[in-house]
Chains A and B, each alone.
Chain A
Amino acid sequence: MATRRRLVLSAAPPALSPGGYVARAYADHVTPATAQADLASSFEGGAWSIALSWRAARAVRALDGDPARFVDAAALLVPTTEGAQAMTMGAPGDPVEGVLWRADAERPLRIAAEGWGTVERQPAPPQWTATARWKDGFWYVTFRLVGWPALDRFRRVAVAVWQGAARERAGLKSVTAQWIRLS
């Protein structure tokens, strides 16, 4: 069965960011750089296909040696317990898992977290892919995910999008506030 959803994104609250700087320096970061995204998902033959698209007036695909540049990125988050929250990226004892696509990386990364600032990254399993295309001011990224027990079990995702052109990174991101149920 396929799911098609238009998602409303909000700016992740900088107050959640660990340390004293980001929460204060970006207290005014309340408007999401990506206000909405489209999600289409299907589950066939044991494989998830999750397609995301969002408006990005300018694609930033590489740092190109520039220390002030940030690349476009998007992630899907999945709970591993009933109590895990998307907005906090989980909590100790309630971890979340995810997959991260970065415009400058050939392969997606698998992520795990138990709260903000705790993300651990590792290469995604070889059968996971992320194909991306930018056309006419929109990114189209399709994840193909096989053998992800947490996703198979909970069938829920949260979405995060980073606009490199707006220097978004880390907790400066547009997110879905709640889990989205995939049918």
Chain B
Amino acid sequence: MTTTRTADAGGRQLAMVLDLNKCLGCHTCTIACKKLWNRDAGAAYAYWNNVETQPGQGYPRRWQETGGRTATGAVKRGEIPDLDADYGRAWTFNHEQVRAQVGAGAHKPWLRPDAPPTWGPNWDEDHGAGEHPGTNHYFYLPRLCNHCTHPACLDACPRRAITKRGEDGIVLVDQDRCHGYRFCVEACPYKKVFFDPERGVANKCIFCLPRIEEGVAPACARQCPGRLRFVGYLDDPEGPIWKLVEKWKVALPLHPEYGLGPNVFYVPPVGPVAFDRAGRLVDDAPRIPGALLESLFGSRVHEALRIVRDERARRRRGEASELMDLLIAYDWNASFRLPAGTREVL
């Protein structure tokens, strides 16, 4: 394994594309990740992958305001999210009580959290915004570590415990070096480093490194019923990532203005159109405001949406579209292009 501390590793970069037009909000990705990697007691509150509703406050709450970068990419002091107010403490339930009630013949035992929940990873799910009916809108935004080209977490660690691998750009925490200072948690503007207070060390998404080394895509991508995740190398012209990011230019990084060079990209959601008071659909009146999408994905989002719409129209006319074939995932295996460790087979 070759690792480097410098942000410009100069090596290859693994990346992921998520087509937000297809996310169902089922959270299978979150559970797949959590069950696989993140079950320690001190990480009960932590979700390397989460799916949040936009517009919304997200997880952790207010993550877009509390990171260590300004809107022009300058360093600012970030915050460590609060366990109750921002992450939400993992719920525990009154199982024993319910069991006793059932044993005593109760017909309607009440299973409920031991303490009133205050926040959680999908707390404001489906709230969205707009006026119902007509302009109400929301979409799902699955989030994970972006394995940034210039990682703020790495830059923040005085212990040099965070490295970016030269061969694939995966950003890792060396927990043997970590002293639990949590500057990485403060600094990451995506709030994708977590702290395990039981073990006293930081942890974060490892891009399913052991799977990658076997040529198998990360669990969040493989398990996604919406088949909206693509995995491969950014510089592979035969792969889906290069095609979506570089060739078709429909996949964009989240908050490019932070300046970290995220390597997780999103095809922005076209969303439905609005309808007027008479209930008629209004063409050219998307319900998801352009300003919201621009605030998340930058000014290139409008051009990306235009390309997706144009290619959809082309397909509707019965014409061929490489982009639509790719996004529809006709050949699901083509969504993942990794060097064969053990070739992934459906």
Q: What's the Cα separation between A121 and B178 when bound, in Å?
A: 11
Residue among A19, A22, A25 with most chain B CB within 10 A? A19
Convert A1-27 into 0s and 1s, putting 1 for each residue whose CB lies closer than 8 angstroms to a CB of B: 000000000000000011111101110
Closest A residue to B76 by beta carbon equals A25
Q: Which residues of B contact A116 (CB under 8 A)?
A: 158
Tell me if A170 counts as interface (CB < 8 A to partner B): yes
The stretch of B28-36, B192-200, B283-291 that contacts the partner chain: B192-200
Q: Which of B169-185 contact A (CB under 8 A)?
A: 179-183, 185
Is the pair A67, B179 in contact by a Cβ cutoff of 8 Å?
A: no
Q: Which of A77-119 contact B (CB under 8 A)?
A: 116-117, 119
Is the pair A119, B195 in contact by a Cβ cutoff of 8 Å?
A: no
Tell me if A126 counts as interface (CB < 8 A to partner B): no
Closest A residue to B188 by beta carbon equals A21
Q: Which residues of B contact A167 (CB under 8 A)?
A: 80
Q: Which residues of A contact B195 (CB under 8 A)?
A: 67
Knowing A63-B200, A66-B83, A67-B197, the reply to whether A25 touches B75 (Cβ < 8 A) is yes
Our count of residue pairs bridging A and B at CB distance below 8 angstroms stands at 79
Closest B residue to A167 by beta carbon equals B80
Q: What's the Cα separation between A68 and B181 when bound, in Å?
A: 10
Q: Is the interface of B mostly helix, strand, loop or mixed?
A: loop
Is the pair A21, B183 in contact by a Cβ cutoff of 8 Å?
A: yes
Knowing A25-B77, A117-B159, A117-B160, the reply to whether A63 touches B197 (Cβ < 8 A) is yes
Q: Which residues of A contact B179 (CB under 8 A)?
A: 119, 121, 169-170
Q: Which residues of B contact A117 (CB under 8 A)?
A: 158-160
Q: Which residues of A contact B158 (CB under 8 A)?
A: 17-19, 22, 116-117, 170-171
Residues of A within 8 A of B (CB-CB), count: 24
Q: Which of A65, A69, A119, A170 sits near B198, CB closer than 8 Å?
A: A65
Q: Which residues of A contact B42 (CB under 8 A)?
A: 65
Residue among A18, A67, A170, A171 with most chain B CB within 10 A? A67
Q: Which of A17-72 contact B (CB under 8 A)?
A: 17-22, 24-26, 63-69
Closest B residue to A68 by beta carbon equals B80
Closest B residue to A28 by beta carbon equals B77
Q: What's the Cα separation between A170 and B157 when bound, in Å?
A: 10
Q: What's the Cα separation between A139 and B180 when bound, in Å?
A: 23
Is the pair B160, A21 in contact by a Cβ cutoff of 8 Å?
A: no
Knowing A67-B87, A67-B182, A68-B82, the reply to whether A19 touches B157 (Cβ < 8 A) is yes
Q: Which residues of B contact A65 (CB under 8 A)?
A: 42, 83, 197-198
Tell me if B218 counts as interface (CB < 8 A to partner A): no
Convert A139-182 into 0s and 1s, putting 1 for each residue whose CB lies closer than 8 angstroms to a CB of B: 00000000000000000000000000001011100000000000
Kindly list the 5 A-B residue pairs having the minimum CB-CB distance in the complex, ordered from nearest: A21-B156, A25-B77, A24-B75, A67-B195, A63-B197
11 CB contacts below 8 A, A to B, read A21-B155, A21-B186, A63-B197, A64-B197, A66-B83, A67-B194, A69-B197, A117-B159, A119-B179, A169-B182, A170-B183
